[in-house]
Chain A
């Protein structure tokens, strides 16, 4: 019996390790495969061209610009509101029944499928508020989608601020608001910013809600204002993937590489910002 055990143990340990390694290998293979396909198509003209019926001439410019608009407007909507909600829940909410309700509600919202947010956007922003299929409607929908994520990340950051700095501030005669503004927020800022940027990067890759809201796949102009029609990177990729011709699949691969590069830059920026702010605070 004692001779058998080590082999069984080793096998079990090996199975556990492979459960980590296999999915990562699959992800690595996926990315390598997409990049290999994308290199057959990706060049500067792909970035600066408009969609076309001819796959070799089609480009991603309007989608790229549309995504940029979406990112900025979504962040401008969701981050301030999310941070304010988090401050209320962590610093003011306490144990009142209303803050319990809000808390359970946010946990529930985080579990709602993203396509349902698309229907909210379609019913409320597009139709009820009359925004039509505009950038604003798309950004509002994505903003609502990431709001729970921003709130949860910001609360986490506020919770990590030790209570004794608050008490020290009160001890010096500061009011609650002064304490939050002068002491708590600066300390929580790195965590809040990183969490918010990660939430926004989630919005960049979202496809389903934008499909429902009515992002266009064939746009031959650049959006000039928030009320214009728009396309977005994932929408353009979806359009190309859905076509039967091989050539458009290469476009999809090239589009995926552009999308993943944008995500890489945004997430890298978040990590860099956190490291920098944390260093500053320690000084």
Chain B
């Protein structure tokens, strides 16, 4: 339909004066509103599923054992339900990932916003976004087949399954999460601030360090937190390359199990519904949900506060 689409509205059979709504209009509006509310229903579904099964879980396993015990062996004959080894595994892999993603992501953001020409930026920015578009199963393969053997050459005592390799690979994957939002924050710093610093004799690098970075600080923190939430919830890379041993240790050369990897392990077996084993994954998922919800919440709060201060 090459003709301008603007003349279409007049095609209605009878002209309707002003904005008074016809019967059909109101029905469509209600239908659209229903769809709009669907997302709230999804949240309710998630929370309800988690709460119901977790409630049943805690009627079988004590609250004190879940948060007090330091052993996690729900699939063994001698069952222990202490969540701490899984939390440990999750935090150590996420920490390694952040050690990669934060410095690289931030420097990449500075390059794209402060140094790159408009043309270079328009090529490199989407290229960097590709990193987040590669399926995580591919990164998992990479961590297991390429990165772990390479690290073992440097460091022979590294186990075949370890926290280090998937952590590093996960860090590469979440670089765009840090760089993209940080770059938006840097880009939003008014040019006049930079010019004032240059005018006072400051160099490029010190302007960035003393003026631009502080001005964009809250946006950068928000992006780092979003990336952290992503790292905590990341599943396939750790399920493939970190192993399945729930160790209560922070040694990156050892095999660890994250909360997500445990859910995968149980799901790969046959889980008859209604058993404690089946409910365990919901209890672990609830813990994971609370973690990511808090981290995401803080991030959104920072963004919101920033917007209000800028008067948007």
A residues contacting B by CB (< 8 A) are 5, 8-9, 12-13, 15-20, 22-24, 26-27, 29-30, 33-34, 37, 81, 84-85, 87-89, 92-93, 98-99, 101-102, 104-109, 111-120, 122-124, 127, 144, 147-148, 151, 165, 168-170, 172-179, 181-183, 186-187, 201-202, 204-208, 211-212, 214, 234, 237-238, 241-242, 249, 252-253, 256, 259-260, 263, 267, 280, 283
Please pick, from A37, A93, A116, A173, the residue contacting B36 in the complex, using a CB distance under 8 A: A93
Count of A-B contacts with CB under 8 A?
A: 285
* Known A182-B5, A241-B240: A151·B141 in contact at CB below 8 Å: no
B2-18 toward A: CB 8 Å interface, digit per residue (1/0)? 10011011111001110
B112 close to A (CB within 8 Å)? yes
CB distance from A164 to the nearest CB of B (A): 11
Among the listed B36, B175, B205, B233, which residue makes an inter-chain contact with A12, where contact means beta carbons less than 8 Å apart? B205
Q: Which residues from chain B sit less than 8 Å from chain A, CB to CB?
A: 1-2, 5-6, 8-12, 15-17, 19, 21-22, 24-25, 28-29, 31-33, 35-40, 42-43, 45-46, 49-50, 52-53, 103-108, 110-112, 114-115, 124, 127-128, 130-131, 133-142, 144-146, 172, 175, 203-205, 208, 226, 229-230, 232-236, 239-240, 260, 263-264, 267-268, 273, 281-282, 285, 288-289, 292-293, 296-297, 300
Q: Shortest distance in angstroms between B104's beta carbon and chain A's nearest beta carbon?
A: 5
Q: Which residue of B lies closest to A259 (CB)?
A: B135
Instruction: Say yes or no: A16-B35 contact (C-beta < 8 A), given A30-B142, A116-B285.
Output: no
Q: How close is A154's CB to chain B, nearest CB, in angstroms?
A: 11
CB B106 to nearest CB in A, in angstroms, measures: 8
Interface of A is mostly: helix
**CB neighbours of B203 from chain A (8 A):** 5, 8-9
Known contacts A85-B39, A111-B229, A111-B292; decide if A260 and B138 are in contact (CB<8 Å).
yes
- Kindly state the separation between the CA atoms of A37 and B138 in the bound complex, as whole angstroms: 13
Report which residue of B5, B15, B114, B133 has the largest number of chain A beta carbons within 10 angstroms of its beta carbon: B5
Check B9 against A172 for contact (C-beta < 8 Å). Answer: yes
- 22 residue pairs of the A-B complex, CB under 8 angstroms, read A8-B203, A19-B104, A20-B108, A24-B127, A27-B130, A30-B142, A84-B35, A105-B39, A105-B43, A107-B300, A120-B45, A123-B52, A124-B49, A144-B42, A174-B10, A178-B16, A182-B5, A183-B6, A207-B135, A207-B136, A256-B138, A260-B138
A123 to B178, CA, bound (A): 33
* Complex: A178 Cα to B18 Cα, angstroms: 12
Given contacts A112-B289, A241-B240, 9 further A-B contacts (CB under 8 A): A9-B203, A108-B297, A113-B235, A113-B292, A115-B285, A118-B267, A119-B50, A181-B8, A280-B2
